[in-house]
């Protein structure tokens, strides 16, 4: 594969990380092939070719990945489908990379570390998750690690919860910010401990930079993205300073999820991961800084100004006034 090849296949391009990656790779001059399962979920843009196919279709995957330098696996089935779908999708991506010679890029998460994870997470940290989703992520990454022994490069960019402008049903826009117009910020756990967040435009920009340095990296790299690690109190203050009005905490109604859990597999899956809100954790950014010394994250005030634009009730706006002191 030529070093200057800049063609990327993004699987799951209509999802959260996939959409951000599509935009970032296109902005940096890559030829982007954006996969989706349905035309309803796609938007055309300059430099992006939309491909509609099922990633489990081996022939379609081979055609889509032909002559690609990088395959970004941003596929993310619903929680309740992970056990069935993750192994099949992993195998399909590895097979496509084997045929095309492409590097695989994977957005990782912190589920692998489990309930007893230490407060600072590094790429060398043992992974001992006991939850079902944590075990599935470990198995998936082990498959990529095994493939690297056969010459298939995989770069994992490990991130916390996503922050983005577009409302996509994530924690921040669905659960935490709907009552900001009333001066309330719903926080799901302890407010005095760090929680790992990843501002998607920054994470996607880092993914592009890593892809462009893939020739200098090992066949298997686990790279923590220490994006925007914040305590609940730090996030509340950042929101307050952005909105220029007092914002107070409101408790999260976990009781409602517990009531729904017997009837909802999704609620049971969400409850299984509740420990993430009561366990201090942040991602060590030193490896990313070593690989990308010129990478600079977006300042927190700019992140908040961007993401709050679309997450506020219609009656609420961001006023251009001096920040609170």
Q: Does residue 210 carry a pLDDT above 70?
A: yes
Mean residue pLDDT of the chain comes to 91
Q: Give the pLDDT mean for 162-187.
A: 90
Q: What is the pLDDT of residue 78?
A: 86
CA angle 8, 13, 14 (to 5 degrees): 165
Q: Measured between alpha carbons, how far is residue 147 from residues 91, 103, 154, 155 in Å? A: 10, 11, 8, 12
Q: Indicate the CATH number for domain 7-161+198-224.
A: 3.40.50.720
Q: How confident is the model at residue 324 (pLDDT cuts 50, 70, 90)?
A: very low
| pLDDT tier at 325, thresholds 50, 70, 90 | very low
Q: Which residues pair with 50 in a beta bridge?
A: 34
Judge whether residue 212 has pLDDT over 70.
yes
pLDDT-based confidence at residue 313 (cuts at 50, 70, 90) = low
Contact (Cβ atoms closer than 8 angstroms) between residue 114 and residue 129:
yes
Q: What is the pLDDT of residue 319?
A: 45
Residue 6 has pLDDT above 90, yes or no: yes
Tell me the per-residue pLDDT of 58-78, one tens digit each, with 9 for 90 and over. Answer: 999 999 999 999 999 999 988
pLDDT tens digits, one per residue of 12-52: 999 999 999 999 999 999 999 999 988 765 566 777 999 99
* In contact, 172 and 195? CB cutoff 8 Å: no
Compute the distance between CA of residue 183 and CA of residue 133 in angstroms, rounded to an integer: 35
- Given a contact cutoff of 8 angstroms between Cβ atoms, the answer to whether 54 and 48 are in contact is no
Q: Which of 97-111, 158-172, 241-255 has the lowest mean pLDDT?
A: 158-172
pLDDT of 306 over the 60 cut? yes
Residue 315, pLDDT > 80, answer: no
Confidence of residue 57 (pLDDT cuts 50, 70, 90): very high
């Amino acid at each position: 594969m030529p070093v200057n090849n800049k063609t990327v296949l993004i699987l799951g391009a209509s999802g959260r990380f996939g959409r951000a990656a599509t935009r970032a790779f296109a902005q940096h001059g890559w030829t982007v092939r954006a996969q989706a399962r349905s035309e309803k979920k796609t938007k055309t843009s300059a430099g992006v070719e939309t491909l509609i196919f099922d990633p489990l279709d081996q022939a379609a995957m081979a055609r889509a990945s032909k002559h690609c330098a990088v395959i970004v696996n941003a596929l993310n089935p619903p929680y309740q489908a992970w056990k069935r779908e993750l192994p099949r999708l992993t195998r399909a991506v590895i097979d496509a990379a084997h045929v095309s010679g492409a590097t695989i890029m994977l957005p990782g998460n912190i589920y692998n570390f489990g309930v007893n994870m230490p407060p600072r997470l590094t790429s060398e940290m043992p992974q001992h998750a006991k939850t079902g989703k944590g075990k599935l992520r470990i198995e998936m990454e082990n498959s990529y690690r095994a493939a690297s022994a056969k010459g298939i490069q995989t770069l994992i960019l490990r991130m916390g919860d996503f922050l983005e402008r577009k409302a996509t049903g994530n924690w921040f826009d669905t659960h935490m910010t709907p009552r900001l117009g009333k001066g309330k910020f719903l926080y799901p756990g302890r407010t005095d401990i760090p929680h790992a967040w990843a501002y998607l435009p920054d994470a996607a920009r880092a993914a592009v930079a890593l892809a462009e340095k893939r020739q200098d990296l090992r066949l298997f790299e686990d790279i923590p993205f220490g994006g925007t690690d914040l305590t609940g109190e730090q996030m509340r203050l950042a929101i307050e300073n952005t909105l220029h009005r007092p914002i107070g905490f409101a408790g999260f109604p976990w009781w409602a999820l517990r009531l729904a859990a017997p009837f909802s597999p999704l609620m049971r899956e969400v409850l299984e991961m509740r420990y993430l809100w009561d366990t201090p954790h942040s991602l060590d950014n030193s490896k990313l800084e070593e690989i990308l010394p010129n990478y600079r994250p977006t300042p927190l005030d700019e992140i908040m100004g961007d993401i709050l634009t679309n997450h506020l009730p219609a009656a609420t706006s961001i006023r251009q006034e001096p920040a609170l002191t």
